[in-house]
Amino acid sequence: MAEADFAWRYGPTALILGGSEGVGAAFAHQLAAQGLDLLLVARKPEPLEETAAAVRAATGRRVRTLSADLTAPDAVDRIASFAGADEVGLVVYNAGAESRFLDFLDRPAEESLRMAALNVTTPIGIVHRFAGPMAARGRGGFILVSSVAGVAGCPRNAVYSATKAFSNGFAEALWYELKPRGIDMLGLVLGLTLTPAMQRMGLKMDGAADPALVAAEGIAHIADGPTFYAAGTGEGALYLRSLDRGEAVRAMASSASELG
């Protein structure tokens, strides 16, 4: 799509939740290069400011930042008031990774509930809040970043994989509902990707995808929903789906233990 068409369809401003590092930072650079102004949200102020400054320097676009925790009960209200009168034509919900592998019973319940807020409750509130004005304008888009961990239950990562299954189903159903209102919805399914969050987890990152590649695939395929399997993860997902469910869960458990 030509830059002017892209900016008209998904601009003037993109909101990136989890826009400071890794895939989110790659989205920030690439969307600004396509002519969009940016609203970036993440918790740690330093990487957020670094990414914002780098994008401003590279593209000259307007970039505003908000340091906020997406698991907080008032997250959607805070983000809505941060966006203010800016016309948000594209929302990328990127934040959402797990920070450790651990059995469900060995993890404090609060940690699992925070994961549910990050990947279920807050995305529902965000999509509801920003899709309304997009529908009134008859244009806009969403990219919900998900994971192959949502294709089958992943032991030691139970709530994470369940929230990613939610994300996949949510994106698919809304793709159908929002299309007639002029809004594109894409569930962008990632496999192992070389991000600072995964590096902090100390996982074996052999063969991990480049964040810039998966962000570019998301942008290129935003209108090709409901789902795009980034960096060639489609075959693995298809294989998992072909298995008996118990076999699929055992395969997930074995992949997770190979990672670390």
* Contact residues for ligand NAP, defined by CB under 6 A: 18-24, 42-44, 47, 69-71, 94-97, 118, 145, 147, 190-193, 195, 197-198
Rounded least distance, CB 185 to ligand NAP, Å: 16
47 versus 187: smaller Cβ distance to ligand NAP: 47
Closest CB to ligand NAP among 13 and 195?
195
Q: What is the dihedral of CA 122, 201, 191, 9, to 10 degrees?
A: 40
Chain residue at closest Cβ approach to ligand NAP: 18
Q: Which amino acid is at 206?
A: D
- β-pairing, 140-147 vs 37-42, is unpaired
**Contact by Cβ (8 Å): 14, 90:** yes
DSSP letter for each residue of 28-83: HHHHHHTT-EEEEEES-HHHHHHHHHHHHHHH---EEEEE--TTSTTHHHHHHHHH
**Cβ-based nearer residue to ligand NAP, 50 or 86:** 50
| Nearest Cα to Cα of residue 40 among 178, 23, 137, 131 | 23
Strands lying side by side in the sheet with 37-42: 63-67, 37-42, 13-17, 88-93, 140-147, 183-190, 227-229
**97 versus 159: smaller Cβ distance to ligand NAP:** 97
Considering the complex, state which of residue 69 and residue 86 has its C-beta at the smaller distance from ligand NAP. Answer: 69
User: Among 201, 225, 231, which residue's Cα sits nearest to residue 213?
Assistant: 231
Report, in Å, the least distance between residue 2 CB and ligand NAP. Answer: 28
CB of 5 to ligand NAP, least distance (A): 27
Helices and strands, number each (H, E), in the chain? 11, 7
**Distance (Å, whole) CA 72 – CA 92:** 18
Residue carrying the six token digits 């590092």? 21
* Cβ nearer to ligand NAP, comparing 97 with 185: 97
Minimum Å distance from CB 8 to ligand NAP?
27
Q: What minimum distance in Å lies between the beta carbon of 163 and ligand NAP? A: 9
* Cβ 104 to ligand NAP shortest distance, Å: 18
The distance of closest approach from Cβ of residue 192 to ligand NAP in the complex, given in angstroms and rounded to an integer, is: 4
Q: Looking at beta carbons only, is 59 or 195 nearer to ligand NAP?
A: 195
